[in-house]
Amino acid sequence: MITTTPTRIPAPVSASISKRRMLVRTPKRGLGTGNMTPRTPRTPRLAEEEIRPRLVIEKLTLTNFKSFYGTITIGPLHKSLSAVVGPNGSGKSNVVDSLLFVFGYRASKMRQAKVSDLIHSSHGHEELDSCSVEVHFREILEQAIFLIDISPISQPSSDDFESIPNSELIISRHAFKNNTSKYYINGRLSNHTELTALLRERGIDLDHKRFLILQGEVESISLMKPKAANEHEDGLLEYLEDIIGTSKYKMPIEEALQDIESLTVERAEKLNRLKLVEKEKDALEEQRKEAENYLREENSLIMKQSVFYQREVLECKNRVEIATVAVNELKSQLAAEQEKYVNIKDDTKEIEEKYNRTAREYEKLENKVNEVSTELARCETEDIQLQERKRDTNSRIKKITKTLQNDRKTLETKQNSIHDYEKELIQQKKDISRLEKSLKAEETELEKITESLKGKTEVYSSQIEQQQKNLAPWIEQINNIQSQIDVAQSEYDIIKNKHVSMKSALEQAEQNVVELEESRKAKEKEIRALRTEREQIKKTIQVLDSKIRENAIQYTKTKSALAEARQKANEAKSTFQSSQSRGTVLTSLLNLRNSGRIRGLHDRLGNLGVIDDKYDVAISTACSSLEYIVVDTVECGQSCIEYLRRQNLGRARFYILEKIPSQEMSRIQTPENVPRLFDLVKPKDPRFAGVFYKALGNTLVARDLTQANRIAFGKTRYRVVTLDGRLIEASGAMSGGGSKVSRGGMSSKFVSDVTQNVVDKLTKEQNKWEEKWREVQEEKTELEKMIEGKNEELPKLEMKLSKIDMDLDACGQAIVDAQKNVAELRKQKKPNVEDGRRMAQLQSTIEQYTTKANQLRKQSAKIEDVIKTLQGKILEIGGDKLRNQKTKIDNIKERIDTANNNITTAQVAKTKAEKDIIKLEASISKAEKEAEALTKEFEELDRVIEKNAQDTSKIETQVQEAKKVMKAKEEELATMKRELDEKTAVINEIRASEIVIKNKLEDFESGLVNLNRQLRHWQSKLKELSLHKLPGEEHIELQIFTDDELMDFDKEELRKDIDALEEKIQSANPNLSVLEEYRQREEEYAMRAKDLEEASARSDAAKKKYEELRDLRFDEFMKGFTCISQKLKEMYQMITLGGNAELELVDSLDPFSEGIVFSVMPPKKSWKNISNLSGGEKTLSSLALVFALHHFKPTPIYVMDEIDAALDFRNVSIVANYIKERTRNAQFIIISLRNNMFELADRLVGIYKTEDKTKSITVSPAVLAT
């Protein structure tokens, strides 16, 4: 920061400076024409100015905003005067737009259609998605200096100031492609409202934005009308009111005016109502007098009635005392019966509780038995499965054991046969050796014999020898071939025997499959039968269930019907007894009617209609006339009265139908929509409706006393009765309530037709339903037993079915195994390729060798024949000795051949036996292992079965024990049930006796109720009596007489007097409601007068408030207006060097009615309206007003956009010097193209554009000058 040392002027020197106007010659500019800048006279300031912190804009940072690409910094700006300069189109106005953008202006104010259009979009940079502007504020405190107030040009601008620590403020706004924007304060997300409030605290008013003077705004001031034509426009008046601050009073003044208008209308309405009530009150005067005379007659009647009612009350009290004694005796009897009932009921309850406990215990036992039975069934099923597995395992063990035994036996046989074959081979070899020795000896012997016969047989012997030599090769070939034939035949027979044994085994296996199939079919048949039986049982159970449900429905219906029949019978009995116990007067009159001795008598009013039981107490309390007797004509009523008088039966009151006037009885609108008592009554005949309306009138029914009070004492008075018997008369008198309320005045059903026959019929109906109910109960018990039996039978059948199912599964598995065995045997039975090939080969070999042997035999047969012939000749020569010796030799040779054959056969059999032994040993080893595994499984099954048997035994024991306990509990329940039934029977007897006593008590109580009703009726009638208070007369109370005094009165005389007065009163037809109406009119008149007074007071208060607001607005406006007008005059004179300007009120009395005229007198010209001036004059005038407004409401920062565009260079210089002077306590940022203006700036901000992008450079002229 550059600081300079302030110049301080000594006081004596400063005091010598004269107060005068000073002319400062400005440098030549433009065409070289100079001008003189006037200065207003000033007082030199020798004291230190008051220094206050002020807000300044330090710099602007623009990022991709409009023509600015990238991040461009505008500044740093000078604390006093900064000028933004640059060629047209370079983007100077975008600097102001950036401020408008941050301060919340719409895009249209910045010459764009939408916010996203503010984002820079020059060639190659069309895809930028956001832009932002940051305004950097700070507060500064200027250094205090002593100044001589001279021209601002000659006074150097000082940069001496201090920045207030931590006063930096950065406000920014970011705009995005989606036309949204965000505000930030010191990097924190904010909003426009917070920003406006923050800057207002710092002295910048964003609401009116008078610190911003944009292009054309100066000229727009000159175009303003004196007053706006509508609320959407601004006139000069509105413009100044916004500055002065009196526009805030507009809405309160309008609201106050509306209040005055509405209150004036209200007051006029109150006044008209007051006059109307006064007129109505005067119209009732004559009728009031007639009604008062009528009330005097009624007072006389009331006095007579009071004496008569007191006499009736006395007589009723006496009869009540007698009835009360009888009731108390019956109550004592009833209490004794009830005590018995309570005692036995307690015992019964104890038994019943014990019975219920036992029943619950029985139910628990039953559940336990069911659970244990289920467990037992599970164990039995498991045992069946285990036994089946055991049988299957045992069968497999037996089968394997048998196979093992057979294999071992066969092995032993094979081993023995091998031993035998070996022995036979040894023996045969020994025999052959022995036979060969014997053969050799015999041949030696034969040789000897032949030698002895050599001479005779030599020829033949040599021939035989020669032939034998020839035969020997043939014999050797034949023997070799025969040996091969024997070996092949032996092997062939072995293979063939194997297939024969396979066939036998296959036949046995197939027979086993057939037997198993037959067994399976038998089991399947048995299963089907059991399943059919099971389905039948299930169907039976379903049918029984359905019947039980139907029985339950029937039970419910029957029980409901029985209850209904009982209720009807009891109601009929009660009604019949009630009708039998009716009062003597009514009974006598009804008997008289029924006998036909009188016509036109109906019944007591209470019996001629019905009402819901809910309203019984209400109607019994509100309508004592229910005891009145209804007759058709006066003659009928007089006949009834005469009959009662003759029979000395008492008195009765009558309603005469022909005397009941026709009345409007339609429904009325009631407060809170409560019912009218009359509307709740259903008359027996429509012609009785008028009687009920006569008795009830418009009496209303309320839920409770609170609601009754609201209704009774509302705007319209009503007679109201509550559901619990509290009565509020229209006069406000309250009665009823208490512990004993009136009831029974009207029933919910018509009961006049109940006779003994009806009672008997309903009793029979009750008995019929009781019998039906017993039948349903018996059927229920039977069905429950049947379904219980079926439910017990079903698990047993299921267990049996499960067992057979397992047998069937085992049988199926056995069939599968047998079929596998058959398939295996069939597979083995089929000659396998090798055996078939071998047998064919052996057969072929045997045939070939046999053919070959036969051929050799044929070929050697000739030699053998020759030998035989020669030997025969020798034998003939040798005789028997030779022949015998030859036979011996032949026999030995034959035996040798046989031995050789035996050796061959034994050798082949031994080889086969050795192969079979190998197979048998492997089979035995496998069978032994399988037998061992099966034996272990069998032993394990034995153990599991034994354990399961133990568990089953335990469970069976538990079942048996539980069943024993259940049986004991069942017997205990039966005993308790019998005892409970006995107690119930006793209770029923007590209840029956109690009912008889209650019926009698009810009869007496009913009579007592009637008497009490009569007593209350007369007491109520007496209580209702009150003398009318007449206006202007002293009010007297009715006299209460003693019992003796009352007995002295003649009731007949009293009745005659009363009848005469009633007849006189009835003949009169005054409008009594006029008294109440007259009183109401008086009260209403007073109330309306009071309302008028209050309305007048409110109207006066509203007018006072309206005038105060207008005065306040006028005073504040005129104060500001005077100040602004004075400053305007000064500014204009300063700017124009002698001109004059004034703000004038069109209507001097009311500045807000016609607005303000801006009148100007340019130098050496006449006064003109601003709208009639030239462009430059308009600009000067508007600028004078703007500067005057700045004086009135200064701000720390001013931004002006080419305000000097329309001025000539001389006026530009005047305005520039004035602005330069104002920069001592404010910051000015001015966009200007006029050198007279920007050359006075403390800092120049150059704006230029290259490559369609705006750039900035900041220059300090003072630095350049140095």
* 408, two tokens: 């071992």
- Please list, in sequence order, all residues whose beta carbon lies within 8 angstroms of the beta carbon of residue 362, skipping any fewer than 6 positions away: 966, 969, 970, 973
Residue in the block written with tokens 């009807």: 568
Please choose, from the candidates 15, 18, 84, the residue with its C-alpha nearest in 3D space to the C-alpha of residue 1199: 84
Are 101 and 68 a contacting pair, CB within 8 Å? no
pLDDT digits (tens, 9 = 90+) for 624-639: 888 889 999 988 988 8
DSSP string, 1194-1209: --SEEEEESTTTTS-H
Helices (H), 658-755: 677-680, 689-696, 705-712
DSSP string, 266-285: HHHHHHHHHHHHHHHHHHTH
65 pLDDT higher than 90: yes
1196 pLDDT higher than 80: yes
Please choose, from the candidates 699, 663, 659, 662, the residue with its C-alpha nearest in 3D space to the C-alpha of residue 679: 699
Residue 850, pLDDT score = 84
- Give the separation between CA 616 and CA 628, rounded to whole angstroms: 17
* 946, two tokens: 């034994």
pLDDT digits (tens, 9 = 90+) for 263-283: 888 888 888 888 888 888 788
Higher pLDDT, 45 or 358: 358
181 pLDDT higher than 60: yes
Higher pLDDT, 558 or 115: 115
pLDDT digits (tens, 9 = 90+) for 911-956: 777 877 887 788 788 888 888 888 888 788 888 888 888 888 887 7
pLDDT digits (tens, 9 = 90+) for 972-999: 877 887 787 777 777 777 776 777 677 6
Are 292 and 976 a contacting pair, CB within 8 Å? no
pLDDT digits (tens, 9 = 90+) for 492-523: 777 777 667 667 777 777 777 787 788 778 87
User: Per-residue pLDDT averaged across 847-861, rounded?
Assistant: 81
Confidence of residue 162 (pLDDT cuts 50, 70, 90): confident
- Residue 995, judged by CB atoms within 10 A of its CB (0-12, 13-18, 19+), counts as middle
Residue 154, pLDDT score = 43
CB 807: neighbour CB atoms within 10 A? 18
- Give the separation between CA 158 and CA 455, rounded to whole angstroms: 188
14 pLDDT higher than 50: no
pLDDT digits (tens, 9 = 90+) for 452-502: 766 666 776 777 777 777 777 887 787 778 777 777 777 777 777 766 766
- Please list, in sequence order, all residues whose beta carbon lies within 8 angstroms of the beta carbon of residue 391, skipping any fewer than 6 positions away: 810
- Please list, in sequence order, all residues whose beta carbon lies within 8 angstroms of the beta carbon of residue 644, skipping any fewer than 6 positions away: 585, 588, 589, 650, 651, 652
Window from 66-80, 565-579, 1031-1045 with minimum mean pLDDT: 565-579
132 pLDDT higher than 90: yes
72 pLDDT higher than 90: yes
User: Per-residue pLDDT averaged across 887-911, rounded?
Assistant: 80
CB 258: neighbour CB atoms within 10 A? 12
Residue 150, pLDDT score = 43
Helix (H, G, I), strand (E, B) or coil at 1166: coil
Window from 5-9, 295-299, 408-412, 867-871 with minimum mean pLDDT: 5-9
440 pLDDT higher than 60: yes
User: Per-residue pLDDT averaged across 353-371, rounded?
Assistant: 80
Question: Computed over its alpha carbons, how large is the radius of gyration of the chain?
Answer: 72
User: Per-residue pLDDT averaged across 215-239, rounded?
Assistant: 78
Helix (H, G, I), strand (E, B) or coil at 138: strand
37 pLDDT higher than 50: no
Higher pLDDT, 654 or 827: 654
Are 664 and 676 a contacting pair, CB within 8 Å? no
DSSP 8-state assignment for residue 1169? E
24 pLDDT higher than 60: no
User: Per-residue pLDDT averaged across 549-576, rounded?
Assistant: 74
63 pLDDT higher than 90: yes
Residue 13, pLDDT score = 28
> CA distances (Å), 282 to each of 270, 291, 855, 1072, 1077, in order?
19, 15, 176, 16, 12
> Half-sphere exposure of 448 toward its Cβ, with a 13 Å CA cutoff?
8
- Please list, in sequence order, all residues whose beta carbon lies within 8 angstroms of the beta carbon of residue 244, skipping any fewer than 6 positions away: 1116, 1117, 1120, 1121, 1124, 1192
**What rounded mean pLDDT belongs to the chain?**
79
Confidence of residue 6 (pLDDT cuts 50, 70, 90): very low
Beta bridge partners of 614: none
Residue 515, pLDDT score = 79
Helices (H), 1025-1035: none
Q: Taking the mean position of all CA atoms in its chain, how far away is CA 772?
A: 49
Higher pLDDT, 389 or 86: 86
User: Per-residue pLDDT averaged across 203-218, rounded?
Assistant: 73
Residue in the block written with tokens 């805030």: 248
Helix (H, G, I), strand (E, B) or coil at 747: coil
pLDDT > 70: percent of the chain: 88
Residue 573, pLDDT score = 65
Higher pLDDT, 336 or 878: 336
Higher pLDDT, 1018 or 14: 1018
The number of residues in the chain equals: 1266
Residue 1221, pLDDT score = 84
Please choose, from the candidates 1003, 885, 879, 1159, the residue with its C-alpha nearest in 3D space to the C-alpha of residue 579: 1003
57 pLDDT higher than 90: yes
145 pLDDT higher than 60: no
Parallel, antiparallel, or unpaired for β 24-25 and 36-37?
antiparallel
306 pLDDT higher than 60: yes
Residue 209, pLDDT score = 67
Residue 12, pLDDT score = 31
15 pLDDT higher than 70: no
> Half-sphere exposure of 1047 toward its Cβ, with a 13 Å CA cutoff?
5
Beta bridge partners of 1190: none
> CA distances (Å), 608 to each of 68, 687, 688, 691, 1092, in order?
103, 10, 7, 10, 54
pLDDT digits (tens, 9 = 90+) for 606-626: 888 888 888 888 888 888 888
User: Per-residue pLDDT averaged across 888-896, rounded?
Assistant: 82
1235 pLDDT higher than 80: yes
- Please list, in sequence order, all residues whose beta carbon lies within 8 angstroms of the beta carbon of residue 820, skipping any fewer than 6 positions away: none
Buried b / exposed e over 316-325, threshold 16 CB at 10 Å, is beebbeebee
Confidence of residue 828 (pLDDT cuts 50, 70, 90): low
Please choose, from the candidates 125, 118, 127, 136, the residue with its C-alpha nearest in 3D space to the C-alpha of residue 174: 118
- Please list, in sequence order, all residues whose beta carbon lies within 8 angstroms of the beta carbon of residue 305, skipping any fewer than 6 positions away: 1021, 1025, 1058
589 pLDDT higher than 80: yes
H or E stretch covering 25: strand 24-25
Residue 48, pLDDT score = 41
Residue 1248, pLDDT score = 93
Confidence of residue 83 (pLDDT cuts 50, 70, 90): very high
How is the chain split among helix, strand and coil, in percent rounded to 5? 65, 10, 20
Helix (H, G, I), strand (E, B) or coil at 139: strand
Residue 700, pLDDT score = 92
User: Per-residue pLDDT averaged across 1186-1190, rounded?
Assistant: 83
Listed by start position, the domains of the chain span 615-656+667-722
Window from 709-723, 870-884, 1170-1184 with minimum mean pLDDT: 870-884
Confidence of residue 1246 (pLDDT cuts 50, 70, 90): very high
User: Per-residue pLDDT averaged across 1166-1195, rounded?
Assistant: 82
pLDDT > 90: percent of the chain: 8
Helix (H, G, I), strand (E, B) or coil at 15: helix
